[in-house]
Amino acid sequence: MPVKNKIDIRSLDLSQLQQHFAAMSEPAYRAKQVYQWLWEKSARSFVEMSNLSKDLRQKLDEQYAINVVEINSSQFSNDHTIKSAFRLFDGNVVEGVLIPMDDRMTACVSSQVGCSLTCKFCATGYMDRKRNLNADEIYDQVVLIDQQAKKNYNAPLTNIVYMGMGEPLLNYANVMKSIERITAPDGLNMSYKRITVSTAGISKMIKKLADDGAKFNLALSLHAANDQKRNEIMPINEQNSLKALADSLKYYFAKTKNPVTYEYIVFNNFNDEIEDAIELAKFCKHVPCKVNLIEYNPIQFADFTNAEGDKIDAFSNYLKNQGITTNIRRSRGKDIDAACGQLAVKEQN
C-alpha cells in the first residue's frame, strides 16, 4: 500500500525532480542520476542507487515512494505464452502477457484496471473500470515482461502492444507518457515502430493522436463494418459511428502518414459472410491499412463462437483479391485464458 505523505517520485518529470532537489539543497545533477536510475535502469528502490550517498538515499526514502508493480502470479501456456497477474501498489490487479514467437517477443500490457466499454465478446468488458493505470505502472509491466522473456527464452522484448485490459485512449495522458518513457534515450530506448496501441474506436482521441504527432502504430478493433452489427457487440459505436471513425482515421493519416491496422474477430454466423467482407473492403478504402483476422477466444459470459476455418479462409481470400494486406492471426495462450479478449482478473487474493 502507498505510504501516506510520500510523493510518487515517478510522477515527476526531470525538471520537476530538479526543482525538488534544489529545495533539498542538492545539485541538479543528482536529480538526473536518480531519473536515470528510475527510467533507464528500472530501479525498484532507493537502496539500489549506488552512486548516491547513503544519507541522500535515506532522505529520498523518507520523502518519496517508488510505487513498483509486482508479479502476483504467472501461468505458462502449452504454446509458451506466459500470462501474469500484476499487483499494483494499491492492491488492484491487472493482467499482461508475454507472447514468444520465432522472430519476436511481444508484451501485451494493460492500461486500465477493468474497462468501461462493455464490448460483448471481451472478458475485460464484463469487469468494472476501477481506475486508470499510471504511466509508471504501464512501464513496469514492460520491464517485468522483458525480464520474463530474457529468463525463460533468452531473448529481450522486441514489441509492445497496448491490447491488454482497458481502453488506452481513455487513459490518454498516462499511455502517452508511458510510451515516451519506453522510447526515450534516457528511458528504455525502444523504437516507436515496435509499439502498437489498440483502440475500440474513440474518434476524438484518434484525432488527438494525430494532433500530437503519434509515431507508434495504431490498431482499431473493428469487428464489423456495419453500424447495426457493431452497435450490437460494441456499444461504443453508438457514439462513435463508422462514419465518425472513418473521418477521424482520414484526419489521422493525413497528419501522421501512418497506415492503420484493423483487428477483425470472425464470429460464427455473425460477421463471417462474404457480404461482411465486402463491407470491410469498402471501409478499408478510407486510409492505407492492413487487416488482421482474429480467431475468437470463448469466454464464460458470452455465447459467441469462432467462425469455421473455411469461412475465415474465404473471407481472407476476398480481402486479398481486393488488394488488401490480410493476415489470419492464430490465438496464443488460449489454455490459460491469455488470448485476445480473455483477460479478466478472477482472483484478487
The β-bridge relationship of strands 82-87 and 70-76 is antiparallel
The β-bridge relationship of strands 260-265 and 64-65 is unpaired
User: What is the structure's pLDDT at 337?
Assistant: 55
Residue 107 and residue 127 in contact, taking contact as beta carbons nearer than 8 Å: no
Residue 33 and residue 53 in contact, taking contact as beta carbons nearer than 8 Å: no
Residue 277 has pLDDT above 90, yes or no: yes
DSSP 111: -
CATH 3.30.200.20 fits 7-65, yes or no: no
Q: Round to whole Å and give the CA distance between 148 and 234.
A: 34
Neighbouring residues of 78: CB distance < 8 A, sequence distance ≥ 6: 335
pTM: 0.92
The catalytically annotated residue of 108, 119, 289, 340 is: 340
Q: Using pLDDT thresholds of 50, 70 and 90, give the confidence band for residue 343.
A: very low
Residue 183 has pLDDT above 60, yes or no: yes
- Residue 64 host element (H or E): strand 64-65
The catalytically annotated residue of 95, 137, 167, 295 is: 95
Residue indicated by cell numbers 457487440 = 233
Residue 249 has pLDDT above 90, yes or no: yes
Residue 344 has pLDDT above 60, yes or no: no
**Residue 48: active-site member:** no
Domain borders along the chain are 7-65, 77-336
Residue 217 has pLDDT above 80, yes or no: yes
Q: Which CATH class is domain 77-336?
A: alpha beta
Residue 334 has pLDDT above 70, yes or no: no
- Alpha-carbon dihedral of residues 271, 276, 282, 283, nearest 10 degrees? -10
Q: Using pLDDT thresholds of 50, 70 and 90, give the confidence band for residue 78.
A: confident
- Is 214 in a helix, a strand, or coil? coil
What confidence tens digit (pLDDT) does each residue in 94-128 have?
999 999 998 999 999 999 998 888 787 787 767 77
DSSP 89: T
% the chain with pLDDT above 70? 93
**Residue 340: active-site member:** yes
Residue indicated by cell numbers 507508434 = 216
